[in-house]
């Protein structure tokens, strides 16, 4: 139990930061493209409390983690976006959707740089290295998961934006069932065939971006 609690402590900050920046990025992108709904509701904020869903962010992941579940699942409070207020709704929808995963890719890079700085400063505290590693992994997981092309996930929004109008609106009808589709694929461990290659590719991108800093700090 002590090991579980220690591991949980390692992941708390990375998870809070990852969901906060993810949702704030959606809000910022929506405002940039013409919809101030999230901004007016105070969701364009780096305050984690504004993005936490008591059940999806806290209860479900904690119960799954301490029950030894083979998979973890959770969600933040969705940022409200009035797609009709965007200057070009169908096109801008993709950019608003991509802002969240893009923020997670950026966060993965920051955590990797944090680990490099720890090494350069010769910090010996293992807890911080584990937290940095957790930060990279958590953000890569959120990045890949949210890009899965099923609405209402971000990847589903991007797919809707890319498809011709007739196909897009037919595809959009999946949204009421998207949550259950993703849960089923997660439970059946089918989603890993998407997650693993996307996370691998994203990890390579992050490492490539971190390469100059690696040379500077080595």
CA distance 214 to 129: 16
Q: Are 134 and 14 in contact (CB under 8 A)?
A: yes
Instruction: Quote the pLDDT of residue 34.
Output: 94
Model confidence pLDDT, tens digit, residues 142-152 = 999 999 999 98
pLDDT band of residue 4 (cuts 50, 70, 90) is low
CA distance 165 to 168: 5
Can you give 1-55 as a three-state secondary structure string?
CHHHHHHHHHHHHHHHHHHHHHHHHHHHHHHHCCCCHHHHCCCCCCCHHHCCCHH
Distance of CA 87 to the CA centre of its chain: 25
CA 72-73-78 angle, 5° bins:
155
Parse the chain into domains and list their residue ranges. 2-217
Model confidence pLDDT, tens digit, residues 10-20 = 888 888 889 88
Instruction: Quote the pLDDT of residue 68.
Output: 64
Q: Is 23 a catalytic residue?
A: yes
Model confidence pLDDT, tens digit, residues 142-201 = 999 999 999 989 999 999 999 999 999 899 999 999 989 988 888 888 888 999 999 999
pLDDT band of residue 207 (cuts 50, 70, 90) is very high
Q: Following CA atoms 174, 28, 136, 9 in sequence, which dihedral angle do they give, to the nearest 10 degrees? A: -90
What average pLDDT score do residues 75-86 get?
A: 88
């Amino acid at each position: 139990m002590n090991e579980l609690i220690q591991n949980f402590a390692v992941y708390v900050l990375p998870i809070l930061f990852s969901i906060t920046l993810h949702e704030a990025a959606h809000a910022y992108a929506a405002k940039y493209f013409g919809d101030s709904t999230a901004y007016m509701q105070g969701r364009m904020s780096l305050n984690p409390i504004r993005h936490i869903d008591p059940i999806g962010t806290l209860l479900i992941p904690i119960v799954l983690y301490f029950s030894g579940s083979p998979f973890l699942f959770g969600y933040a409070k969705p940022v409200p976006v009035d797609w009709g207020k965007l200057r070009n709704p169908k096109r801008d929808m993709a950019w608003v959707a991509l802002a969240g995963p893009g923020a997670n890719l950026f966060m993965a890079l920051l955590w990797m740089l944090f680990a490099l700085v720890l090494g350069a400063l010769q910090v010996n505290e293992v807890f911080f290295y584990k937290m940095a590693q957790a930060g990279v992994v958590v953000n890569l997981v959120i990045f890949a998961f949210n890009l899965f092309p099923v609405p209402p996930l971000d990847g589903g929004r991007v797919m809707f934006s890319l498809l011709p109008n007739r196909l897009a609106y037919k595809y959009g009808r999946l949204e009421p069932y998207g949550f259950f589709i993703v849960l089923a694929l997660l439970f059946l461990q089918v989603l890993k065939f998407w997650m693993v290659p996307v996370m691998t590719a994203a990890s390579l991108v992050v490492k490539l971006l971190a390469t100059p800093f690696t040379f500077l700090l080595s």
